[in-house]
């Protein structure tokens, strides 16, 4: 199955990516090696080329130290010999193997080298600061990223979990000092969690031509439609879902999502992702899958066209 979806340009990077960014946080957690390979195979078969991970994935799993996701992706890339087809994004700053949290120059440099080794690649297509580190001068962090770009170890850099003000400060500093500059932003964003991106952060991204790749695009599974108001969430992401089940506004929006999905003979997850792709400031949403069937469902969202009535209903 190949989805003939047009690629989207990743901001100023010159990199073209599939409109759905495959999340790698589940690899080594709820998807073991065989499931991970099957998911990646299905995504590639559908035309997907954009994989998101981080050095800290899946440190939260008992017995893990982080880096498990990167290692599995690296093993798959080697097995399938498809490195040149794929755009690989990873992150540093939240405490990967052998590192504490933070964005000191040493952390950024060591984190990059460790990620390169686990992924088995000679460069990272996109390297994010996983979250802001107010305790480290921006100058130090940005010079460390710049050194990686100049060395050819990183093609483009991005900022995850930055405020609008801090992002603009970083952009201004890079511009004034001739340093590699953030080209991609990764914020939380979905139909029921919109405040982080909409408004000031989206305005900064638009004004500076930055790509936006959103995480928690399905609100930890709430927007898949498998939960109902008053119910109790179970599973690995139960806490993330339960807060939405207790929120009348979120529940009402979920019902609108179900209605639009029924109209299009689609699933709620497909509509939730398609809604993001209709937002002018979103480049790609990130969604994860644990089976090829889930991959096929999610990638079909890139072909779903919503009209103004659909969008108004979802925004209501």
Q: Is 57 annotated as catalytic?
A: yes
Q: How far apart are CA 136 and CA 139, in angstroms?
A: 8
Determine which one of 43, 57, 128, 189 is catalytic. 57
Q: How far is CA 232 from CA 93, 151, 255, 264, in A?
A: 33, 50, 17, 28
Residue 206 burial (CB count, 10 A): 12
Which residues form the catalytic set?
57
């Amino acid at each position: 199955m190949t989805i003939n979806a047009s690629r989207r340009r990743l901001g100023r990077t010159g990199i073209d990516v599939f409109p759905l960014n495959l999340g790698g946080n589940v690899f080594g957690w709820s998807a073991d090696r065989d499931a991970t390979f099957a998911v990646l195979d299905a995504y590639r078969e559908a035309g997907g080329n954009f994989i998101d991970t981080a050095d800290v994935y899946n440190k939260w799993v008992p017995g893990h130290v982080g880096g498990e996701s990167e290692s599995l992706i690296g093993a798959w890339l080697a097995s399938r010999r498809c490195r040149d087809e794929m755009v690989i994004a990873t992150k540093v700053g939240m405490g990967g193997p052998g590192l504490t949290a933070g964005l000191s120059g040493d952390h950024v440099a060591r984190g990059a080298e460790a990620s390169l080794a686990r992924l088995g690649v000679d460069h990272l297509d996109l390297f994010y600061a996983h979250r802001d580190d107010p305790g480290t001068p921006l100058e130090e962090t940005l010079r460390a990223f710049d050194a990686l770009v100049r060395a050819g170890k990183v093609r483009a850099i991005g900022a995850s979990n930055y405020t609008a003000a801090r992002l603009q400060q970083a952009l201004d500093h890079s511009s004034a000092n001739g340093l590699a500059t953030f080209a991609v932003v990764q914020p939380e964003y979905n139909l029921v969690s919109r405040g982080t991106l909409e408004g000031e952060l989206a305005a900064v991204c638009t004004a500076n031509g930055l790509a936006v790749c959103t995480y928690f695009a399905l609100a930890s599974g709430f927007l898949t439609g498998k939960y109902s108001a008053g119910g109790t969430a179970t599973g690995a992401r139960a806490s993330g879902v339960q807060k939405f089940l207790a929120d009348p506004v979120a529940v009402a929006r979920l019902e609108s999502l179900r209605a639009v999905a029924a109209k299009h003979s689609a699933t709620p997850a497909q509509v939730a992702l398609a809604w993001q792709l209709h937002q002018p400031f979103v480049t790609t949403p990130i969604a994860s899958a644990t089976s090829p069937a889930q991959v096929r469902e999610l990638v079909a969202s890139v072909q779903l066209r919503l009209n103004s009535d659909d969008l108004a209903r979802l925004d209501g």
